[in-house]
């Protein structure tokens, strides 16, 4: 029953994971299938089949091979169908051995146009509509007569999470991770050089540095070269032009590429994604030497929702001594989780509020007072504040002001939501990250790892009335 459980759980199905007894059991009907494959008149088909099955091939690889039909890889398509036929035969045989199904070899299922593996309630995906299942395949939870796109059993479909190549989303996240690491290096290099190239954009509290400019060029150009159809929106308004080659990053994090993409994001296309970039979140703190406040933010949105984020802290561990590893990169995908840190919670009953250090106002202070906090932590950077939430240094992030923008919140929101937290405006509304939306988060920001509803209920009506979403 081990194979059956693996099939239903949706894990990889390949000969490489079976014991010797499972590979060639007595009466194994797959032997007949292999013989039929060999007699099919195409030797390379049979060889390809056996190679795929004995060298760790999985259902995703087979389906990927079947997708080659439109590009002319006909023999691979046929070989993949044979592979799937073998897997179907073996699975039915094992279930028959377990007494779950009365396998009747004289009534094999007939599938128009080749094999169409199925799951409960399945509908044909590869074959035609004229399907006749043998009685050995009629059990409701294990029927092999068609492929259901939405059933969790088997976990396989044309764009399922067993694809032989990473999805667009996971490739984008893997690239963003490597680019964020490079960005952290640029931030440190500019600081070490001594010339920050500070420019005031809209006053003394809204600054731009050489690091802001170089990092945005690095992120946007690197991503655009690899993902030309993705919409990229950066904080800084920079002139277009050639970017020096040493600012570009082509690498991708291999560990991220190995992670499974959440099923709901497998079919996303490049042109459906929007990337929001804050090249240096906490610029004012950067210019004042408060280096642990600084982050680089790359947020990824789909259908207006923040679904993935990457946060680099260039100076993480900078006070830990010369031998400490400097900098870290945190990343997360909604439905998969968040990585690169240790998730912690503030002790129960404690209310620690983190808020702005440089953009305080009467509204901000009134809102914080209404929370009746045990303590207030004032730091720079939206990314830094969300990290405080997920590492148990603060209970809630409260910012009752219209100063925050989409590039400040997209990446942090995705990571917070990936671990079960919640980020909204002061009214409890979620932000939208479509490429057409206004950049300002005019309704303020309210975020918490736990008990978001409690903090939302404490926001004074006077504050809500003053902040129009």
Q: DSSP string of 417-432? A: HHTT-EEE-TTSPPP-
C-alpha 264 chain-centroid distance: 10
Whether 295 and 181 have beta carbons less than 8 Å apart is answered as no
Residue 237 assigned to a binding site: no
- Strands 207-208, 199-200: pairing kind: antiparallel
| Marked catalytic residue, from 45, 89, 209, 283 | 283
Does 73 score more than 80 pLDDT? no
| 147 labeled binding residue | no
* Cα–Cα distance measured from residue 35 to residue 432, given in angstroms and rounded to the nearest whole number: 57
Confidence (pLDDT) at 468: 84
Has 212 been annotated as catalytic?
A: yes
pLDDT digits (tens, 9 = 90+) for 423-442: 999 999 999 999 999 999 99
pTM, two decimals, is 0.68
The CA distance from 261 to 57, in Å, is 19
The single residue of 212, 292, 409, 424 carrying the catalytic annotation is 212
Are the CB atoms for 205 and 284 separated by under 8 Å?
yes
User: Do the beta carbons of residue 409 and residue 431 sit within 8 Å?
Assistant: yes
Instruction: Write the DSSP symbol of residue 265.
Output: G
Q: What pLDDT was estimated at residue 37?
A: 38
Comparison of pLDDT for 77 and 177, the residue scoring more = 177
Q: Say whether 281 counts as a known binding-site residue.
A: yes
Q: Is 235 annotated as a binding residue?
A: yes
What integer best gives the mean pLDDT of the chain?
Answer: 76
Q: What percent of the chain has pLDDT over 90?
A: 56
Residue 45 among known ligand-binding residues = no
Contact 420, 370 (CB under 8 A): no
Model pLDDT for residues 261-290, shown as the tens digit of each residue: 999 999 999 999 999 999 999 999 999 999
Condensed to tens digits (0 to 9), the pLDDT of residues 219-239 reads 999 999 999 999 999 998 887
Is 425 noted as a catalytic residue in this protein? Answer: no
pLDDT tens digits, one per residue of 296-318: 999 999 999 999 999 999 999 98
The helix/strand/coil state of 188 is helix
Tokens representing residue 221 in the block = 């150009």
């Amino acid at each position: 029953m081990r194979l059956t459980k693996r099939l239903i759980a949706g894990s990889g199905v390949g000969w490489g994971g079976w014991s010797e007894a499972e590979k060639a059991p007595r009466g194994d009907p797959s032997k007949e299938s292999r013989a039929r494959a060999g007699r099919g008149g195409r030797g390379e088909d049979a060889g390809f089949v056996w190679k795929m099955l004995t060298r760790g091939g999985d259902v995703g690889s087979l389906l990927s091979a079947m997708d080659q039909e439109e590009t002319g890889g006909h023999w691979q398509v046929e070989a993949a169908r044979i592979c799937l036929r073998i897997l179907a035969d073996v699975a039915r045989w094992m279930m028959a051995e377990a007494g779950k199904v009365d396998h009747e070899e004289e009534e094999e299922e007939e599938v128009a146009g080749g094999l169409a593996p199925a799951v409960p309630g399945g509908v044909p995906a590869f074959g035609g509509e004229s399907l006749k299942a043998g009685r050995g395949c009629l059990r409701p939870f294990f029927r092999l007569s068609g492929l259901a796109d939405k059933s969790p059993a088997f976990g396989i479909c044309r764009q399922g999470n067993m694809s032989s190549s990473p999805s667009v989303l996971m490739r984008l996240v893997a690239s963003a991770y490597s680019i964020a690491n490079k960005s952290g290096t640029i931030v440190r290099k500019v600081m070490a050089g001594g010339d920050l190239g500070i420019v005031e954009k809209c006053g003394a509290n809204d600054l731009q540095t050489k690091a802001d400019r170089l990092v945005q060029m690095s992120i946007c150009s690197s991503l655009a070269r690899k993902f030309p159809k993705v919409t990229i929106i950066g904080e800084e308004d920079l002139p277009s032009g050639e970017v020096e080659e040493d600012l570009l990053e082509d690498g991708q994090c291999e560990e991220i590429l190995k992670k499974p993409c959440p099923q709901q994001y497998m079919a996303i296309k490049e042109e459906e994604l929007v990337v929001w970039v804050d090249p240096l979140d906490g610029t004012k703190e950067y210019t004042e030497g408060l280096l642990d406040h600084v982050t680089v933010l790359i947020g990824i949105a789909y259908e207006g929702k923040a679904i993935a984020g990457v946060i680099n802290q260039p100076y993480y561990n900078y006070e830990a001594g010369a031998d400490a590893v400097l900098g870290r990169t945190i990343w997360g995908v909604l439905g998969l989780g968040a990585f690169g840190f240790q998730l912690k919670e503030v002790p129960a009953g404690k209310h620690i509020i983190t808020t702005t250090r440089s953009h305080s106002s009467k509204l901000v202070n009134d809102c914080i007072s209404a929370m009746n906090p045990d303590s207030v932590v004032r730091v720079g950077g939206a990314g830094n504040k969300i990290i405080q939430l997920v590492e148990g240094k603060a209970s809630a992030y409260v910012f009752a002001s219209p100063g925050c923008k989409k590039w400040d919140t997209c990446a942090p929101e995705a990571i917070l939501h990936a671990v079960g937290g919640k980020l909204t405006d002061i009214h409890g509304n979620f932000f939208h990250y479509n490429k057409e939306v206004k950049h300002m988060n005019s309704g303020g920001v309210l975020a918490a790892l736990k008990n978001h509803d409690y903090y939302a209920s404490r926001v004074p009506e006077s504050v809500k009335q003053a902040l129009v979403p």
